[in-house]
Amino acid sequence: MSNTSKSTLSVAAALAGAVAMVSFAAPASADQVKQVKCFGVAAAGENGCASAAANHSCAGHSTVGYNGQDWKLVPAGTCAGLGGKDQPFDGKGTMAH
């Protein structure tokens, strides 16, 4: 085997090792992060569903943005920071535009 081939293989092996190390250190994918219902944070037509008191049946049917009766899934621990609540409420979320 020539020195060029050995050098190429060494670089490839080092790169493969670096990629393997990064994959172990990577944070959980979005699919693995726990999602929770957050009321009052969905823009009109972007809701996951709604409480029984809402005036529509379910996903994507909201006509009012940030309605406290509509929810969408958000990463656990982020709902309050987005201006929403974990239970249905009257009015709009605090982040409503």
Examine residue 73 and state whether it is found in any structural domain, yes or no: yes
3-state secondary structure of 84: coil
Q: Is the residue at 34 inside a domain? A: yes
> Is the pTM for the entire model greater than 0.75?
no
Residue 58: its pLDDT value, please?
76
Tell me, yes or no, whether 21 lies in a domain: no
pLDDT tens string, the chain, 97 residues long: the values are 555 554 554 544 444 554 444 444 455 565 678 999 999 999 988 888 766 666 666 777 787 889 898 889 999 999 999 999 999 999 888 875 4
Residue 14 lies in a domain: no
Residue 3 belongs to some domain of the structure: no
Q: Is residue 68 part of a domain?
A: yes
Domain span at 53: 30-82
Which residue type sits at 19? V
Residue with the two structure tokens 């009766």: 69
**Buried b / exposed e along 34-44 (16+ C-beta atoms within 10 A):** eeebbbbbbee
**Nearby residues of 85 by Cβ (< 8 Å), 6 or more positions away:** 38, 39, 40, 68, 79, 93
**Domain total in the chain:** 1
Helix (H, G, I), strand (E, B) or coil at 82: helix
Q: Quick one: pLDDT at residue 55?
A: 66
Asked if residue 16 belongs to a domain, the reply is no
